[in-house]
Amino acid sequence: MFESAELGQTIDKQTFEEQVPALREALLQAQYELKSQSRFPVLILINGIEGAGKGETVKLLNEWMDPRMIVVRTFDWPSDEELAHPPAWRYWRELPPKGKIGIFFGNWYSQMLHRRVDGQLDDTELDQSIDYALAMEQMLCDEGGLIFKFWFHLSKKRMKARLKELKNDPLHSWKISPLDWQQSKTYDRFVRYGERVVQRSSRNFSPWYVIEGSDHRYRSLTVGRILLDGLQAALKVNTRRLLQPHAAPLVDTSNNCKLLESLDLSQAIDKKAYVEQLTAEQARLSMLLRHKHMRKHALVAAFEGNDAAGKGSTIRRVAAALDPRQYRIVPIGVPTDEELAQPYLWRFWRHVPALGRFTIFDRSWYGRVLVERVEGFAEPADWLRAYAEINDFEETLTRSGIVLVKFWLAIDKQTQYERFKARENTPFKRFKITEDDWRNREKWDQYVDAVGDMVDRTSTSFAPWTLVEANDKHFARVKVLRTINDALEKAFEKD
């Protein structure tokens, strides 16, 4: 496949010098338009053969364009903070915000290729890695992002010649690393797996461009033109392209009602049993978090529920079990402008705990399919795709050892009414009840639908929902703590 690019394409000096000024001006103008629209980010992935001009081309792009609006990142050896997080974390933390261009060297494709060439992955695992990468890219594009993937190619003969040439050039010999020499030995394997990766990960939303790398004028001009065409096309579309909602219809909403109705909200626990069981579960959590197996895991607990269902007080009972140095509570409210400049899940990724740590989300990434859906803050196409994105996100977390527990605290309409009234009548709790709460309450049935769909579509084997009957706060607190403890124990048993 790559051989088809091996026609030794060249561009002569005169043509190059004639064409560069206009291309450069157009690229700069597109870049300023990108910045002034600040509607979407651009991500450029750089891969391919060593010596095929990857670095030189990116250097030239930085010269042609305004380097102040380009962020170039290279992902070589991960830091210990990165190693303590899911592998995708290091890419998320470096994603370019809307209006900027990010260029990623040593990205996920480089990592998987190196590991396949080294024999750390087999073909099936390589294909799986490709699927994960595509899910990430699909999400970025669905969020409006523009992706370019460039594979810089050289034939084996040319690659060896290039390395030799560099070696003999005292000014540039530092450019060749031991890795490059190694690649000259593993060239055949590298190209074979490279072809597999490129073939399997080309999509309309993030196509590969294979660039013949031997002629510097050809490769520079070609990359520049591809970028310009893509940028101009994306900048012209003034409204965000809205996707087709996913094909699968939502479940019959009558089932949703049944789901929540089937909960036996009358479940309760007497005071004495509560104190005993709560204390026992708190002690258990405290021990489990200090267990040596915890070093290979992290814990994430996400709390959702009806207004006044007792999320806050339940979270406090969980926290009370622990030394405050052991957990972080992340309340999810209005996103900051830095968060709004990133894909939806970015604001949650930044709080994903390192190994050994515990993060509690007070409301979570499910806001998109709950409040944003019901209030119309998100387009149907956006919240409909969120189910799959959330499942991917949660699988990514659990795959790297994070134990994830998700709670829906359910109360009935009458209990909510009583709690709202009680809040209004307690001077000290009055700040906890606003007009908004009463307005939300009018949408009770819509929330029932939204919760039903959410539980139906995001209850997975790796991250099941726990519905918590919360009319009785004591019952709810014990159930939450016990669920967390059971999940941790189960994870430790598998180790």
CA distance linking residue 448 with residue 260, whole number of Å? 7
Q: Which of 18, 123, 338, 375 binds a copy of itself (CB under 8 A)?
A: 338
Q: Is 133 in the site for a copy of itself (CB under 8 A)?
A: no
Nearest to 150 by CA among 5, 6, 43, 46: 46
- What does the per-residue mask of binding to a copy of itself show for 413-452, with x meaning CB under 8 A? ---------------x--x---------------------
Cβ at position 12, least distance to a copy of itself in Å: 24
Taking CB under 8 A as the criterion, the residue among 6, 195, 362, 412 binding a copy of itself is 362
Number of residues that bind a copy of itself (CB under 8 A): 45
Site for a copy of itself in 164-223 (CB under 8 A): 171, 174
Nearer to a copy of itself, 26 or 451 (CB): 26
Whether residue 182 contacts residue 117, with contact meaning beta carbons closer than 8 Å, is answered with: no
Q: Please identify, using beta-carbon distances, which residue of 127 and 362 lies nearer to a copy of itself.
A: 362
Mark the segment that binds a copy of itself (CB under 8 A) among 1-9, 55-63, 391-399, 482-490: 55-63
Q: Is 320 in the site for a copy of itself (CB under 8 A)?
A: yes
Q: Does 8 bind a copy of itself (CB under 8 A)?
A: no
Interaxial angle between packed helices 380-399 and 444-458, expressed in degrees from 0 to 180 and rounded to the nearest 10: 40
Q: Which stretch binds a copy of itself (CB under 8 A): 62-70, 134-142, 438-446, 470-478?
A: 62-70
Shorter beta-carbon distance to a copy of itself: residue 36 or 120 = 36
C-alpha angle 49-53-56 in degrees, rounded to nearest 5? 145
Hey, which residues does 299 pair with through a beta bridge? 358, 403
311/385 with CB nearer a copy of itself: 311
CA nearest neighbour of 75 among 56, 95, 60, 57: 95
Q: Minimum Å distance from CB 172 to a copy of itself?
A: 10
Residue listed under structure tokens 């064409």: 19
Q: Of 105 and 420, which has the nearer Cβ to a copy of itself? A: 105
The C-alpha atoms of residue 280 and residue 259 are separated, in whole angstroms, by: 30
Considering only 20, 23, 72, 251, the residue that binds a copy of itself (CB under 8 A) is 72
Q: Segment near a copy of itself (CB under 8 A), from 61-69, 124-132, 269-277, 385-393?
A: 61-69
Q: How far apart are CA 208 and CA 149, in angstroms?
A: 5
CB of 361 to a copy of itself, least distance (A): 10
- Closer residue to a copy of itself, CB minimum distance, 322 or 381: 322
Determine if 239 is a binding residue for a copy of itself (CB under 8 A): no
CB of 69 to a copy of itself, least distance (A): 7
Q: Which stretch binds a copy of itself (CB under 8 A): 146-154, 326-334, 469-477, 481-489?
A: 326-334
Nearer to a copy of itself, 71 or 250 (CB): 71
Q: Please choose, out of 126-134, 189-197, 322-330, 398-406, the segment that lies near a copy of itself by the rule CB under 8 A.
A: 322-330
Judged by CB, which is closer to a copy of itself: 99, or 452? Answer: 99
Q: Output the CA torsion 46→51→57→60 (10° steps).
A: 140
Interface contacts to a copy of itself, rule CB under 8 A: 25, 28-29, 32, 55, 58-59, 62-63, 66-74, 79-81, 103, 105, 171, 174, 283, 290, 312, 315-316, 319-320, 322-325, 328-329, 331, 336-338, 362, 428, 431
